[in-house]
A and B are shown apart, each in its own frame.
Chain A
């Protein structure tokens, strides 16, 4: 009787589940958890070992992979283990209009006569994004010498300073503070912000983003198969990462040759600037990690500014300098480079970077804090 009743129960349970469940016992669930957690913990690291980054003294993260923070953190680890000094910043440090042997880090190494400097700048890393990058993906930047670049362009208007109430899509929203300080133009839903805040602390999720960005044209795998229905995804994965050679610019003209008009930029007040606030937070974070931080401000293309705008910029530059001095932070606020050395408002051409590197090597504070003279 007991058997019959048990088998009846089993049958009714079976009916209750249909094929909608793959029933596992407690021990089987533990086995599943162990397998998954092993993959979760070691999968990304193993993947990293299988595919080495082809780095070198002038290596910079390929432009197309600028949103691949998992790859960035690997590059960061490698750079920090091989070089004494790293350069942090946006496309001015990355070298938007120059080839890899035309960047600031390249000319600094040339001046040093050895490979001392590595670029960790990436396109579009405005200060609010740089804060997130350093905090969540740049943990290896500790006890190093760091050249932290401040591009004043990010304070050249309410929009650049992320202060407009109207929503607009800015670069690297996943890196900015999700809750505090409040970013007025960032209107993501609360649940999405929460997902981002949790996600950037989970390396596995960054690795899955890496797969998407690096191999599937920044598409989800399912979306990629819709776009390329008959392609073999394994070919994409084994094809390797994008190379930095792809990024060599075709247009290397100066802003004068481009016939760009002079600008009347509406600089924000330094006291209320969100980007400046987050820049200072990044600086503090780097110092807390035992780094020697040297701040490089600009050099902005002041030739491109209309007189009134240039006056305001001049005052802002002085205020930045005063704050750095008051807080005993080594810095260099160079004068504008010759006009023909700029390709736009903030990006120097290779000649500009060469000159800037030379100026840095002549700067006393740079020599004392970075070169160790």
Chain B
């Protein structure tokens, strides 16, 4: 079930009053869990088997960990199980495909059977709830969270429907305590939740789905377009993916807020970042911090010399790329960001860069780099990415036929965000401006919203 569809509206109109009615009683968690499972099963009832198994196993592992002196072994069971699930469902086809390529290039007369694996469904949101569940077992092992004694509460933590399909990847430390208390839902929670939901809906339907029309057209046949169209499509994709994913997060946070839950901020104007490091502290914050806490720091972080720091950065970025999808394009995307971090980290340490380069130029540079890297993220294959990069620099200057409205909308959003971080932010806080913007967004959605229901990009991860 997707937030921007009628079934979700009906689902929420039934679930929300029921939840408010029982939130002070013992039925609160069973109702929340049942609603979350219905929400998930709507996509495919079989998904429940996997989430049920993953939840039960991690709950049991932590119970065993609490009673056993061999805590590390139980942690290893949880990690192996979660990564095993992820590996099998998400990377099975990728691994067998590459293994077969390797065997064939070595003239080994054997082929790993890949047909069955290719036919296995990748459950929506798998990477998100696996990481969330994993964070609980690791945090418990480290002594950062208490053991959760209620299986229903733990299952609700893993499956809470607003964030189930595409995050934010919540930490047990933040979400579990909220599930222990009876949430207070005041008027402000409802109005703020509604505000976030409307902004998210606008980002998804009016912006991301619109930009997708141009991006999909160009990226479907990059060899038929020339430099301006390829540049514009890549530029628009940078914004499309931002609107798509942050729109989902806004809706998720808005719904959770209306129910009295505070989910973490996941996007904070990433295209206003003045360095690549800052970009990653503004983009998909819940994933970036997850990798930082559970991979980068355990690897040694930046404490063991320059070489090890860069090695750790590289590993984290490449694994982050792979987390997004089982394809070499994602690996290259991650590696490019790692390379960018190495180069800019040194550059940013120079006095000239720190003091003489204007902030706007730094922001534009980071945006240009991130946009270039998106080529590899979006391209259907490495070959396509190569064609795009080559043609950007070597093809002609044919009319890109890019709608002026799309560029105007992107510029308007950039201006809004820029103003939001400037000294004249107060302009955006004026009552007529706020009300006017919300009315404009709702009217645009009501009158011009496309009737097609495109899926969220990040759901495939």
Contact = CB atoms under 8 A, between A and B. Distances in A.
A225 B206 CA distance: 13
Given A29-B191, A194-B6, A194-B10, A222 B443 contact: no
B269 A222 contact: no
Given A194-B7, A229-B402, A220 B448 contact: yes
A22 B437 contact: yes
Contacts of B58: none
Contacts, number: 117
Q: Place the interface of chain A in its size category.
A: 35 or more
Interface in B375-422: 401-406, 416-417, 420-421
Interface centre among A20, A22, A31, A195 (most CB of B within 10 A): A20
A220 B450 contact: yes
B304 to A, nearest CB: 32
Interface string A213-236: 000000011110110011000000
Contact of B199 (A21, A26, A208, A221): A21
Contacts of B196: 17, 20-21
Interface stretch (B207-215, B305-313, B366-374): B207-215
Contact of B403 (A25, A26, A198, A226): A226
Nearest to B187: A26
A208 B437 CA distance: 21
Interface string B164-188: 0000000000000000000000010
B146 interface: no
B262 interface: yes
Nearest to B437: A22
B446 A36 contact: yes
B439 A223 contact: no
Contacts of A40: 446
A32 B191 CA distance: 12
B431 interface: yes
B194 interface: yes
Interface centre among A19, A191, A208 (most CB of B within 10 A): A19
Interface string B228-271: 00000000000000000010011001100000001001011100
Contacts of B269: 18-19
Interface string A18-43: 11111111101101100110011000
A221 B448 contact: yes
A15 interface: yes
Nearest to B247: A20
* Main SS class of interface, B: helix
Nearest to A219: B450
A20 B246 contact: yes
Interface centre among A194, A198, A208, A222 (most CB of B within 10 A): A222
Contacts of B448: 208, 220-222
Contacts of A46: none
A180 to B, nearest CB: 19
B434 interface: yes
A10 to B, nearest CB: 12
B442 interface: yes
B6 A20 contact: no
Contacts of B437: 22
B345 interface: no
B209 A222 contact: yes
A24 B192 CA distance: 7
Contact of B406 (A18, A21, A208, A225): A225
A15 B199 contact: no
B5 interface: yes
Contacts of B195: 21-24
B250 to A, nearest CB: 5
Contact of A191 (B6, B191, B249, B403): B6
A35 B6 contact: no
A79 interface: no
B361 interface: no
Contacts of A220: 448-452
Interface residues of B, number: 55
B189 to A, nearest CB: 11
A31 B246 CA distance: 27
Contacts of A194: 6-7, 10
Nearest to A228: B403
A208 B250 contact: no
Contacts of A204: 446
Interface string B155-167: 0000000000000
B354 interface: no
Nearest to B193: A21
A211 interface: yes
A26 B191 contact: yes
A16 B435 contact: no
Interface string B422-444: 00000010010011011100110
Contact of B5 (A19, A29, A191, A223): A191
Interface centre among B6, B10, B190 (most CB of A within 10 A): B6
Contact of A22 (B190, B405, B434, B452): B434
Contacts of B431: 28
Contacts of B447: 208, 211, 221
Contacts of B402: 229
A16 B403 contact: no
Nearest to A190: B7
Nearest to A29: B191
Contacts of B254: 21
A274 to B, nearest CB: 26
Interface centre among A17, A22, A226 (most CB of B within 10 A): A22
B217 interface: yes
Contacts of A230: 401, 404
A22 B413 CA distance: 13
Nearest to A43: B447
Nearest to B405: A225
Interface in B254-303: 254, 262, 265, 267-269
Contacts of B404: 225, 229-230
Contacts of B210: 222
Nearest to A207: B447
B289 to A, nearest CB: 14
Contacts of A28: 191, 431, 434-435, 438
B96 to A, nearest CB: 33
Contact of B439 (A15, A26, A32): A32
29 contacts: A16-B262, A18-B268, A18-B420, A19-B417, A20-B268, A21-B254, A22-B434, A23-B195, A24-B191, A29-B191, A31-B435, A32-B438, A32-B439, A35-B439, A36-B439, A39-B443, A40-B446, A191-B6, A191-B7, A194-B7, A211-B447, A220-B448, A221-B448, A222-B448, A226-B213, A229-B401, A229-B404, A230-B401, A230-B404
Given A24-B194, A222-B405, 4 more contacts: A17-B196, A19-B421, A35-B439, A194-B6
Interface of B: 5-7, 10, 187, 190-192, 194-196, 198-200, 209-210, 213-214, 217, 246, 249-250, 253-254, 262, 265, 267-269, 401-406, 416-417, 420-421, 428, 431, 434-435, 437-439, 442-443, 446-452
Sorted nearest first, the 10 A-B pairs with minimum C-beta distance are: A225-B403, A220-B450, A19-B420, A222-B210, A229-B403, A221-B448, A18-B268, A21-B195, A21-B196, A191-B7
